[in-house]
Amino acid sequence: MHQPASVLLIDDSPGECELFELALAASGIPATIALEQDPQVALLTLRNSPPRHLPSLILLDWKLGAGHGDRFLHALRGIPHLAVLPVVIFSTSAEDQDVAAGYGAGATGYVQKPLTFDQLVLCIQDLCRYWLRRNLMPGMVKSPC
C-alpha cells in the first residue's frame, strides 16, 4: 500500500511551526506533517524509524537556536539509510555564505522563508508539488503527474 507523503519540519520556533502547519493545511496538498524543534531529537527519531515511516521531505531551519543546521545535516548524511532523504533548508537568511554552507553540508535545496502567510502557502505548494509529487526517490514507484 502506498504511504501518504509526509514532511518533517525542523524549526526551533513554535510560532514558525504553527504557521507552517496552518499554511500546509491551507495549501490543499495531501501530506502529513511532523514538527520537531530539536534537531538532535529529530535525528534520533529518524535513525530509529522504519523506512516506511521516514518523511518524504525534510525542511530544516538553518539558524537553529545556538547552532546551525549544519550539524544536523552532517550527521544525517553520515547515516547510509537516511543520506538519500531530501533536505531543503527553509530559512529567513538569503546570505550567500548561508546558502553556500547549506549546500556544502549536504542540503538538497535552499529556500528563503516568505514574508507573508499567502506567500508561505504558495511556497509550500511549490515545494510539495516538486518534492512530494515529481521527485523520485530510490525504491519508490510513482505514477506520472
C-alpha separations of 2 from 53, 141, 142, 143 in Å = 12, 9, 10, 11
Strand partners, 91: 112
> 142 lies in a domain?
no
C-alpha separations of 20 from 25, 48, 133 in Å = 9, 25, 19
Residues 125 and 84: their CA atoms lie apart, in Å, by 22
CATH of the domain at 22: 3.40.50.2300
> 35 lies in a domain?
yes
| Domain span including residue 40 | 6-134
> 76 lies in a domain?
yes
> 30 lies in a domain?
yes
> 1 lies in a domain?
no
Find the mean pLDDT for residues 109-132.
Answer: 94
Residues 4-35 pLDDT 10s: 789 999 999 999 999 999 999 999 888 889 99
> 49 lies in a domain?
yes
Domain count, the chain: 1
